[in-house]
Each structure stands twice: as structure tokens, then as C-alpha cells.
Structure 1
Amino acid sequence: MRKRHLALALGLSGLLCVPAQAEARDISRDTLAPNDGWAAADGGTTGGAAADDAHVYTVTDRAGLVRALDGGSGTPKIIKIAGTIDANTDDDGDHLDCADYATDGYSTKKYLTAYDPRTWGPAKPSGPQEEARQASAARQAARIVLPVGSNTTIVGLEGAVLKGASLQVKNADNVIVRNLDLRDAYDCFPVWQPNTGGLGDWKTAYDNLWLNGATHVWVDHVTASDKGHPDDREPTHFARNYLRHDGLLDITGGSDLVTVSWSRFAGHDKAILIGNGDTATGDRGRLRVTLHHNEFDSIVQRAPRVRFGQVHLYNNRYEVPDEGDYRYSLGVSTESGIYAENNAFHTPGHIEAADLVKSWNGTALHQTGTLFNGYPVDLLAIHNAYNSGSERDLTAEVGWTPTLHTKIDSAGTADREVARGAGAGRTP
């Protein structure tokens, strides 16, 4: 990437209106190429490319970013992020930690004492500590949840990082997010759910990027991770991991026409969820998503997990973690139609090809050209052979064939290109 001339922008704080021609190569004016995945359908995705100069901003702190986002308004806008922006900051720019959000007498110790399953039992938490947790969580949400409106492009300048934030594209259309390092959407106040999974579990609130009822969205050259607060350093409470992060990218609530390209998802439990409920039949005919040339590095599960959607998954690279509780990569769930082509998987010796696919109520998976540790495999045949009796057999008939795509390379070629080119800071 060419060097950006940011001396002025980085010497100021907040939000600056700058002329659109200030950069030698202004990727903020880029639009999605024709045929580049589902987001190219029905008129394509242009984000804020039509913004006038008065709505082109360079932002260097949370306050400036909030002003530029304008509460999720649909005015065409381009927002360029410079340097590192921490969403966990007050109006003066001072950092906030979990203790700063806690209110009404909340503390983790008191919460654990109040809802210990040995004394509280299987009931949903209620009473003073749960009310205090909710009030504390609301204080954090007011800081870190950042709504993104229609006709918006958010682009990171060289080395840009947005940490602690949950970017939320809710009921908005025509959005581009590019060249940005999204880190650590950390939930200070997880809620205990006694009946989840039989043993109970902790539920967290925030995704690094959440598309909810969003349409025409292009996510490109983004890096998403837990960097700063990895979950493997968190304690265990009630015999369950005290997770602080939800997804890296969730595409739910009937979102549609989405392309995710050349991005890197790293060091996380649940990476990408497409469709959030088996009973959400309103998602039928929606959740059309293309994932191509992405890297999934040390992801435990959901890379992706799909319900209902027609998902084209091609030329992606997987580095399966060699430690921890790896579960699966491709999740085939209710009425999903995953069309997987020429993807490459690298795994440690104890992970077999049969471990890569998991099915819950799914019926179909189309796959061709898969490489497993450098060798061609048929994931569908392996899944059916190794999981017979525990999961239903899958068919290759997913009911659709992708037509919107760029050149599809062999898995080996894509593997090398993605290793070199995926993630923030690597836009051509």
C-alpha cells in the first residue's frame, strides 16, 4: 500500500473534514466490482462513494467517529479512520475499564455468589445483582455500540485500528467496511444462562461487526480478532469458560446480499454466524452471502455456520488451531445451502478431515476442489462416512449454483495468495 500523507490528520484529534483528493490512492471511493459475489446483485454496493466533500471525514478518536457516523443516518458519507481508536473512552478521551461501567452495586464476585447453580438452581437470574448487571451493561453499550447507517464507507488508513467497538449495521443498505483492524469487542458483563447446553453457559453481547437486517454490504481486507483480551486467558466460572467475546462477524436478522473478501479472522472461538435461529423462517430467500479469499486462523468454530442462506464459499484458507477445543469449520444447519469451492485447510496431526464439517438439521453441502494438508479430499463423502449414525447424511444438491463471482483459482493457488494478501493493510 502506498504511504498516506497523514501528518496533518494525525496531529489533530476528533473529526476533520478533508478534501477527497487528499490521498494519493483514495480507496474510500472504490465500489464493489461487478459480479464480485452476492453484494454485486440488484444494483451493486457503492457505500459512500457519492459523498460530497463536506461528508468525507478523517477521524482519530471515538468522539470524532461518533460524530461522523451521525447516529446511523443515511446521508452518503466516507469515514477514514487514522491511528488507533479505542471505543472504551469517555467524552474527554480517557480510557474506561469494566470498573468504570459497573453501577448499582454490581461486582463479578457478588454476581457469582448470587447465581451459583448449587444454591440458585436452574432458574433464570433475577433480582438485584442481575438488575445491576443489566444497568452496568447498558452503560458499556452506550460507549461501544456504534451504529452504521446506509450509504456509508468506513475505511482504515495505513495501520488503522478500531478496538473495543461493536460496529452494527442494522436495517441499513449499501455499506462498505475496508482495510480496518477490528479488535476486542469485549463484554464486561456476561450473563449466566443456567439451562443452555444442559450445564448452563455464559452469554456475551457484542460482535466486532454485526449485520442485522442489512443489505448490500461489502467487507474487504478487514482483520478481526480478540487481540488484547484473548478468551483463553479468562477464568472458568460454574465449570464453564467465562467468555467475553461473541462473534467476529455475525450476519443475521434477514441480512442479504453480502460479500466478505480478502479478510482475516484470527484467534477466536466463534467467527461467522449466518442466520441466528432454526425457527427464523423469515430468513428464507435471504442471507445470500459470498465469502472468498479469506483466512481463518486459529478459529474454533463457525467459519461459517449457516442457517437458511445461500452461501458461496470459495478460495478461502484455513489454519486450524493446534491447541484448545477445536470443534469444526463449516457448520451446516437448517435449510442452508453452502456451495464450497477450492478451499484449503491446514490442520495439526490430531485433526482429521472428518472434523471439518458439522451438521445440525442440515441436509446439503456442495463441495469441490478441497485441499486437506495439501491433498485433495471430498469433504461430503468423508462427512457421510465418518458421521453416519451421529449426523444425517448430506447431499450435494443445495438447490442453487453461484453465478456472481470473480475468477476462482485452484485451492493451492488461492492458499498462497490469501496467505500473502488477506487482512487489513494489504489492499492492492
Structure 2
Amino acid sequence: MTRSVAWRLSAVVAALAVATSTGVVVGVSPASAAAGVATGYAAANGGTTGGQGGVTVRANTGTKIHEALCRRASTSTPIIIEVEGTINHANTAKVSGDSCETAAGVIELKRISNVTIIGVGSGAVFDQLGIHIRESRNIVIRNVTIRNVKKSGSPTSNGGDAIGMEKNVRNVWVDHVNLLASGGESEGYDGLFDMKDNTQYVTLSYSTLRNSGRGGLIGSSESDLSNGFVTYHHNLYENIDSRAPLLRGGTAHMYNNHYVSLNESGINSRAGAKAKVDNNYFKNSKDVLGTFYTDAVGYWHVSGNIFDNVTWSSPGSETRPAGPDVKSTTTVSVPYSYALDQTSCVPTIVSRTAGANKGLLESNGSC
């Protein structure tokens, strides 16, 4: 598919509020973009539109975010919550209501649907405070920074996950966010982007994940195989020890991501998982693709990737790297259209577009 065709299709799809393709976007205001056009697997299963069509409210504390959720007419009433400022433990209290189930010290999206949270103005920072999505569907999170969420030490939030999804979650689009920690498990942190217990149809796009021992996972154990249908595109993974991501069962599609300094392992496909890995740029990293730390193997379908100064371990009973001669071990088809950027351009494109406060810019296909 050419870029011009992809753009025309996305314009039509946006008008229909059903996302199937990515196009060229040049600086739009966060408020007008709050409805957005979800891409990848988040566009499947009926699509992900968040709070599109609902009222728009402004929040500068976690308590006000919870109040906005609790004041809805029902748990499914669409709402767009524009967030500006620093959200932390001191300003995030539990709020009660018929349309919410909140808790102090975490942004709780529990048993609800049709919600958009988007950073506006000078930006939104969730400081040591995670976002927990549980038994919910049709959730959009855009243009925010979430940093230093801990599972041990003080203060703690969301089990140490920056964004954590669990138990029958459907259709989540996370876009143009910064997720970062200041170390690994020994420093009190867990994952940046985790999915567990039957979480499906998720897309992470145009985001940065940095300085963490664990980038994220699909499936909490080798027996938690009910998760999947996840797309990762145009993201930066930098200074991550492992789990970029870890897949236990399910299907995931990674395209046009930039991976820098994956210190121990990268895409870890295990327990029958299938990873479609297209036009990604891996640099200064180790064991960026394979099955690691288990004898329960997974599979991969590769094309167009660049491995720049990547080293590989020797194979063993619990170490099955895809390289140095990287070849597909399965075939994966996805149910949506997408336009691949030239792999050599990925570092430049991701640097220009990924993360919060970038004007929600997307790739135009050029370096």
C-alpha cells in the first residue's frame, strides 16, 4: 500500500469512526485529536474510539480524573478527560459513585468503558502513579508521561506497572506516551506496559519506553495464555534489560520500532506465542529476538529488520536466539492494513514522532 492511498483510506475511515489504516498527521491540537484514529489490533474487534462523542472535562489532579469518571450517567457513558499538570499520590484520592470503582494512589479504570485520557496544554505527568485498567473496554490514553511507578519501596502504585491491564480487557489504544522507570526490580520497579488475564486487541503506538528492567509483557505466566492481538508500532525502546516485550501465547505485531540498548533480551516469544516482526531497527543490543529463560518455545515471522551491532547468545535448553541468521519460524497474518516505513529511516522517524508533547505527529514515510 502506498502512503497516499493509506492517507485517503484513513481519512474515510476516520469519518466513519472505524480505524483501519495509518496516515500522515501534522500537528493537531490534542483536544481535536482526542477522538483519534486507532491503528493495528486496537482497530479490530469493533474498533477503539474511547470517549468520542462524549463530554470533555479538564482535570489537573488524580482526584478530578476520578470525579469525572464517577459523575458520568453510567459506567459506559463516553467521556474525554483532558489532563494538564502533575498527577501524584498527594492529589489522587478515592472517589465513590455508581459509574466508577476508584482507589487512592492509582488511576483506576475498573469495570468501565468508553473513556479517553489525553494530555493537553503544558503536558500531563503521572509521577510515581500508574494507570490500572481492569475488566474494561474501549479505552484511549494519549499524550501523557508516566514515570517511576513502584511495586516496592515508597510510594507504591499499580503493582509497579506504568500501565497495567488485566482481566477481560478489550480494545485499548495507547498512543504518544512516555513510559519510564529509573531501574529494575531491585530498585522497586516492574513493567512499563503489561497485559494479563484475557487482555486482547491493544495497540501501543508512537511511544517511548526507557530505563527499565522490564519493558512489558503479554501473559503473567506460562499458563496465562488468554492474551494477545497486540500491535506495537513506531515506538522507542531504550535502555531496557528485557521484555521488549515478553509474549506468553497469543499473537503480536511489531513494526517500525526502534530498539536501542536492549541489555539482556528483547522480543521474547514463549509458550507458543507468534510474533510478526517487520521493518524494525535494532541497535547496540543483545538477543533481540527469540525464546529466552524457558524451554516453552515461541515463534516469529520476520521481514525487513536491521540488526546493527546486535550480539547473540549460544543456543541452549532455555536459550533459543533467533540470530545471528534470523529466519522466520512461522507465518502470521494480520487483519488490518498498514504502511511500512523504510527500515533505515526508522530511527529518524521515531525520534521525530514518538512520545508525549510531540504534537501527536505521525510518520509521513520520509527520513
Q: Same fold (TM over 0.5)?
A: yes
Mapped partners of 2:172, 2:44: distance in 1: 11
Paired position in structure 2 for 1:130: none
Mapped partners of 2:317, 2:291: distance in 1: 13
Structure 1 outlier segments of 4+, above 6 Å: none
- 8 Å contact kept, 2:30–2:119: no
CA distances 1:244-269 after superposition (whole Å, capped 9, x unpaired): 11111101111111111001001111
TM-score normalized by the length of structure 1: 0.66
Identity within the alignment, %: 27
- 8 Å contact kept, 1:328–1:358: no
User: Would the alpha carbon gap of residues 268 and 389 (structure 1) be closer, same or farther in structure 2, given more than 3 Å must change?
Assistant: closer
Pick from 179, 183, 187: which aligns with 1:231? Answer: 183
Paired position in structure 1 for 2:36: 31
Paired position in structure 2 for 1:66: 66
Paired position in structure 1 for 2:350: 418
CA distances 1:190-243 after superposition (whole Å, capped 9, x unpaired): 9xxxxxxxxxxxxx92211111121111000010012xxx237xxxxxxxx633
5 Å-filtered alignment, 1:216-255, equals: 216-226=171-181, 230-231=182-183, 242-255=186-199
**Matched residue type, 2:142:** R
Q: What stretches of structure 1 of length at least 5 have no aligned partner?
A: 1-22, 92-140, 191-203, 233-240
TM-score normalized by the length of structure 2: 0.77
Q: Does residue 1:261 correspond to 2:202, yes or no?
A: no
Paired position in structure 2 for 1:115: none
**Matched residue type, 1:146:** I
Paired position in structure 2 for 1:343: 280
Paired position in structure 2 for 1:308: 249
Q: Determine which structure has more spread, i.e. the larger CA radius of gyration.
A: 1
Secondary structure of 2:253 counterpart: strand
Structure 1 residue 76: Cα displacement? 1.0
Please identify which structure carries the higher helix content: 1
**Matched residue type, 2:169:** A
CA distances 1:123-143 after superposition (whole Å, capped 9, x unpaired): xxxxxxxxxxxxxxxxxx942
Paired position in structure 2 for 1:145: 106
**Matched residue type, 1:205:** G
Pick from 276, 283, 293: which aligns with 2:220? Answer: 276
Mapped partners of 1:90, 1:365: distance in 2: 42
Paired position in structure 2 for 1:214: 169
User: Would the alpha carbon gap of residues 156 and 370 (structure 1) be closer, same or farther in structure 2, given more than 3 Å must change?
Assistant: same
Pick from 317, 326, 330: which aligns with 2:258? Answer: 317
- 8 Å contact kept, 1:367–1:396: yes
User: Would the alpha carbon gap of residues 344 and 24 (structure 1) be closer, same or farther in structure 2, given more than 3 Å must change?
Assistant: closer
User: Would the alpha carbon gap of residues 222 and 45 (structure 1) be closer, same or farther in structure 2, given more than 3 Å must change?
Assistant: same
Please identify which structure carries the higher strand content: 2
User: Would the alpha carbon gap of residues 316 and 25 (structure 1) be closer, same or farther in structure 2, given more than 3 Å must change?
Assistant: closer
Mapped partners of 1:266, 1:391: distance in 2: 25
Q: Does residue 1:332 correspond to 2:291, yes or no?
A: no
- 8 Å contact kept, 1:87–1:162: no
Structure 1 residue 390: Cα displacement? 5.2
Structure 1 residue 305: Cα displacement? 0.5
Paired position in structure 2 for 1:47: 50
Structure 1 residue 357: Cα displacement? 3.6
Q: What stretches of structure 2 of length at least 5 have no aligned partner?
A: 1-27, 94-101, 362-367
Secondary structure of 1:43 counterpart: coil
User: Would the alpha carbon gap of residues 225 and 413 (structure 1) be closer, same or farther in structure 2, given more than 3 Å must change?
Assistant: same
Pick from 74, 77, 84: which aligns with 1:82? Answer: 84
Q: Does residue 1:400 correspond to 2:332, yes or no?
A: yes
5 Å-filtered alignment, 1:342-361, equals: 342-347=279-284, 351-352=285-286, 354=287, 356-359=289-292, 360=294, 361=296
